[in-house]
Structure 1
Amino acid sequence: MNVLAGNYIAEPPTSRKYPIINDFSRKDQIGFLDFRESSGLDKVHLSARYESYSYKGKLEMADDCNSVKNYITGKNNYNRMHEESNEDFIHEIMDLFNLGHLQSKWISSLSNGQMRRARIAKALMDKPKLLLIDDPFLGLDPVSTLSVSNSLRVVAQELDTCVVLGLRIQDEIPDWVNHLAFVTENGTEILGERKEVEKRIMDISKPIISKHKAHNSHHQSESWVKKEMIEASDPIIEFKNACVAYKGQTVLKNLDWKIQRGSKWRILGNNGTGKTTLLSLITADHPQSWRSVVTINGVTRKTGSGVTYFDVNDKIGISSPELHALVPPRMTMMSIITNGLVRGIGNANFSFKFKEKELGPHAVKLLKHFESEIKKNENKRFHELTVSLQKLTLFLRAVIKSPDILILDEAFSCMDDEELVIKCHEFIKSELGSTTILTIGHLDWEVPETDFTLKLLGDENRGYEYYERIK
């Protein structure tokens, strides 16, 4: 995808051509979005997403340069604030990607899935001839995935834009895609019209697809029963009639949730229903987590209780897209992993190195389990690792501290190496039996085995459903 985007020099220079581009005076005719990388926004602490509401108060967000609409149109750049814009085209694109109702929100307050839709819309503002998107459906719930796919169909068929998607072999190919290219480490192996080459690609990929189907069918064969409430005799986390709202918007409404110590939970919900917000209340990244909305280990968290943000996070391990975006690109794999052992710095601080000479037994066992992956890559810088190894690195960093609570927010999404995903899941099942685990993931096969599910419903009218796995 980087080659197509023109990010690498072609040798010879004439070997790469763009027949569909005929106006070389425009520099914006190729758009490239890589959702495997950071969000595309400034790298800020997760708390900033929620503190923004307090900062903005009652100001009208439509007048703010950091609103969703201004981000998409480029008017969050002060040098472009007075440029003329085609309002009809702006509304067409925003409606196409279901962003019209979000146009006045502060851009950093969007959920991960909403942010990805906004980035696609922003890329289309310049009306590129070629739009390249690597992992376009990463982090999207099933409803949003279908919606974005249909929107990209319109872009390809009606807006005179050639769309190229980068997908994993396990991913479903949208039915509107009419050409396929099969790429390996050696380059492009197969290229042509879909009807002519799809079977050849499927034949070559059969071992990978067979393993994926077996792995996926294991998850889909699980049976669940709906419950009024999941009781807990020894809750490590408890929400009692918890409510969180800001700027007139209800995020949590009358949430009752008890999490048994050592239980495994999956948190489900469409983009924007508050999944990451809920986790941020547990990790104390959300300012309102100090307003007696959550109880941890029997102690209600509130200001003046003597418990600090760092005390809270010493007992929590986390892997998330927000943390992924904060990792220093030149930091080595092993330095990142052992950074998880440094206490008193929070989970978002990568500045400190672990200086102890000896690791504890849990850390030694963990590193031994993943020895083959670590030994070959421990001195590689983060930006030199594949996405699968980057995800593994953050997972190991979260687990190595032997946390009481492990949060896996899309921890295994976008991993190409499904065997590595399975290896991580097996370690969780065999070695983390006493750890309380909370998982967010839209694809079943990316989520480790869980005991219970909390499903968040609605956008305006919040609701919650509880499910227990039948063993």
Structure 2
Amino acid sequence: MMSQPVVHITNLNLKYQQKPVLTDLNWTINRGENWVLGGKSGSGKTSLAKVMVRLQNAIGEVNINFNPNSTLPKQALFVESWYQFKNLEGVANFYYQQRYTSQQAKDTLTVHAELVGYGKENSLHFDDVEPILEALNFATFASSQLIELSSGEHKKLQLVKALWLKPQLLIIDQPYTGLDAGSRKNLNTLLEEKSAEGVQLILICNDAELPSCLNRFAEIRDGKLIEVDSIATVESTYNSQRQIPDFLKDSPVYASNSLVKMVNVNISYGDKQVLKNINWDVKAGEKWLLQGHNGSGKSTLLSLVNGDHPQSYANELYLFGSKRGSGESIWDIKQHIGLISPEFHWYFDANSTVWQSIASGFYNTVGLFQQLPYTKSTQVDELVEYFGLTESKNELLSTLPLGKQRLVLLARTIIKNPELLILDEPCQGLDGQQTQYFNQLVDELCSNGMTLIYVGHFESQLPTCLEKRLLLEKGEVKSVENINLEILN
């Protein structure tokens, strides 16, 4: 007699705002099968996972049969693509600059306290989590407040908890988001170990470097689950034939040849030094790649450039030709900059429509609070069309799939044709075609003279225009070098 399938889904139907997402979807997962669920952004992958773990309602049957003979928890755990944390009062309404304001950072738990609470809640032994912390290079973050963590560090915390719990069924949405190359490799080893111990895996991603225990591949196409031979065969039909709007073809007007200059910059939180003796000069028109392991100080460095860090004034820092603290406001600085980062996405006003979100880029706000003049309105319309967002322009940002939300914020970033474009992991949540499309756009924008600082861990997902690289290690500049990604790619 054959054993029951672990997961049996029959005729699953889900609509979102009257639009079909899943249509008569069927899926059977047998014991020993570890699946990759890939495909286009917005095809319904995350929705399907949420239905499986009862976080979302749908019509149809979902049966999960846990192994009664296994010592692992009889649980199906879903690890979301983003980590949602709260302050000590149980509230999650943080604002962007708050993560750099050390006094307010004491509002949230430390990593250690969060793990202690999680261990007690799930009757886990603390000794068992230490090898996982070491493998993901996360042991040194024990005393860090949750609000101080970057997106890659938050992803690590999610993964540590999931791997520590070892549920019978583990579904991870975008497992590699924000992780450096070493952490990705170590994560794959950990996943293989847990699989060997009886954890069945479903990874939602389009990544090529996967654990060897992954043996089945599928995508969602027209609301149905389609099994494919490998992740490389997943279809994506993103239209990248549109012409860049004319207003983005103009070269930015630079007030100074030096956009960013740091002289022996140091940043500390108490006894913890995050940046040490940083010297960096970014000149007009240069295209920089900023890299370093998770926790190397990249986010803090960018917060200085963007005017968000309160310790800017205690350092010798020049932005757009003016010494920081010489009378300029934070809004004067932001007028020169277009920024996208995972952290900024977390704190963005999700109750704005797509159109309003893009338009707010003119005023550096997290929502649109004033009427746009005709010329600016036309530019928003052109960018909505260029990014293929016309059908969604009046929808709330929060109702869109993660990949489309990211495209909206990318459009917001470039709407004012800024002198300096800061793109921190801009392609998180985008599928392969969207990533390629966006990086082609970056190359085109930068050919018109825009200055670029780009943070990216995946060498295969970078624009080819990058020409210089700053590598950080433990808060110090490890190397500065010229690169040519056109040759590398």
SS in 2 for 1:340: helix
Contact 1:362/1:400 (<8 A) preserved: no
Aligned residue among 366, 386, 401 for 1:370: 386
Could you tell me which residue of structure 1 aligns to residue 435 of structure 2?
421
**What is the alpha-carbon distance in structure 1 between the residues aligned to residue 65 and residue 485 of structure 2?**
57
**What is the alpha-carbon distance in structure 1 between the residues aligned to residue 376 and residue 163 of structure 2?**
51
- Which range moves more in the overlay, 122-131 or 398-407? 122-131
Alpha-carbon distance, 1:46 to partner: 3.4
Alpha-carbon distance, 1:341 to partner: 1.6
Could you tell me which residue of structure 2 aligns to residue 222 of structure 1?
none
Alpha-carbon distance, 1:461 to partner: 6.2
Aligned residue among 211, 216, 235 for 1:174: 211
| 1:323 partnered with 2:344 | yes
Residues 123 and 238 (structure 1), Cα distance of their counterparts in 2 relative to 1, 3 Å cut:
same
Gaps of 5+ in 1: 57-63, 191-196, 212-232
| 1:450 partnered with 2:473 | no
Residues 112 and 85 (structure 1), Cα distance of their counterparts in 2 relative to 1, 3 Å cut:
same
Residues 428 and 459 (structure 1), Cα distance of their counterparts in 2 relative to 1, 3 Å cut:
closer
Aligned residue among 96, 113, 118 for 1:70: 113
- Which range moves more in the overlay, 266-275 or 107-116? 107-116
Alpha-carbon distance, 1:165 to partner: 0.7
Could you tell me which residue of structure 2 aligns to residue 295 of structure 1?
318
**What is the alpha-carbon distance in structure 2 between the residues aligned to residue 307 and residue 460 of structure 1?**
27
Aligned residue among 109, 118, 131 for 2:148: 109
Residues 90 and 388 (structure 1), Cα distance of their counterparts in 2 relative to 1, 3 Å cut:
closer
Which amino acid is 2:224 matched to? G
SS in 2 for 1:401: coil
Alpha-carbon distance, 1:65 to partner: 7.1
| 1:2 partnered with 2:50 | yes
Q: Deviations over 1:163-188 (max 9, x none)?
A: 211112x5333212133333323221
Gaps of 5+ in 2: 1-48, 87-91, 240-255
Could you tell me which residue of structure 2 aligns to residue 281 of structure 1?
304
Q: Deviations over 1:444-464 (max 9, x none)?
A: 343223343333243276523
Aligned residue among 169, 175, 192 for 1:153: 192
**What is the alpha-carbon distance in structure 2 between the residues aligned to residue 45 and residue 54 of structure 1?**
11
Contact 1:5/1:132 (<8 A) preserved: no
Residues 66 and 429 (structure 1), Cα distance of their counterparts in 2 relative to 1, 3 Å cut:
same
Q: Deviations over 1:108-146 (max 9, x none)?
A: 222321221111222345442221101100111111111
SS in 2 for 1:3: helix
**What is the alpha-carbon distance in structure 2 between the residues aligned to residue 153 and residue 396 of structure 1?**
39
Residues 250 and 437 (structure 1), Cα distance of their counterparts in 2 relative to 1, 3 Å cut:
same
Residues 19 and 365 (structure 1), Cα distance of their counterparts in 2 relative to 1, 3 Å cut:
closer
Could you tell me which residue of structure 1 aligns to residue 66 of structure 2?
20
Q: Deviations over 1:227-273 (max 9, x none)?
A: xxxxxx92111112222233333322222211111222111111111
Could you tell me which residue of structure 1 aligns to residue 29 of structure 2?
none
Aligned residue among 373, 382, 386 for 1:357: 373
**What is the alpha-carbon distance in structure 2 between the residues aligned to residue 138 and residue 368 of structure 1?**
26
Residues 239 and 28 (structure 1), Cα distance of their counterparts in 2 relative to 1, 3 Å cut:
farther
Superposition pairs of residues 61-140 of structure 1, within 5 angstroms: 66-74=109-117, 86-140=125-179
Residues 359 and 422 (structure 1), Cα distance of their counterparts in 2 relative to 1, 3 Å cut:
farther
**What is the alpha-carbon distance in structure 1 between the residues aligned to residue 320 and residue 470 of structure 2?**
23
SS in 2 for 1:454: strand
Aligned residue among 47, 56, 62 for 2:97: 47
Report the number of matched residues.
414
TM-score normalised by length of structure 2: 0.75
Could you tell me which residue of structure 1 aligns to residue 25 of structure 2?
none
Residues 74 and 427 (structure 1), Cα distance of their counterparts in 2 relative to 1, 3 Å cut:
same
- Which range moves more in the overlay, 130-139 or 356-365? 356-365
Aligned residue among 252, 258, 262 for 1:235: 258
Alpha-carbon distance, 1:30 to partner: 2.1
Superposition pairs of residues 139-288 of structure 1, within 5 angstroms: 139-158=178-197, 160-168=198-206, 171-190=208-227, 198=229, 204-205=233-234, 234-288=257-311
**What is the alpha-carbon distance in structure 1 between the residues aligned to residue 105 and residue 58 of structure 2?**
48
Contact 2:356/2:368 (<8 A) preserved: no
Residues 293 and 54 (structure 1), Cα distance of their counterparts in 2 relative to 1, 3 Å cut:
farther
**What is the alpha-carbon distance in structure 2 between the residues aligned to residue 34 and residue 356 of structure 1?**
36
Alpha-carbon distance, 1:70 to partner: 1.5
- Which range moves more in the overlay, 64-73 or 100-109? 64-73
- Which range moves more in the overlay, 452-461 or 104-113? 452-461
Could you tell me which residue of structure 2 aligns to residue 224 of structure 1?
none
**What is the alpha-carbon distance in structure 1 between the residues aligned to residue 260 and residue 431 of structure 2?**
33
**What is the alpha-carbon distance in structure 2 between the residues aligned to residue 417 and residue 386 of structure 1?**
15
Contact 2:288/2:470 (<8 A) preserved: no
Contact 2:359/2:415 (<8 A) preserved: yes
Coordinate RMSD, CA, aligned: 3.3
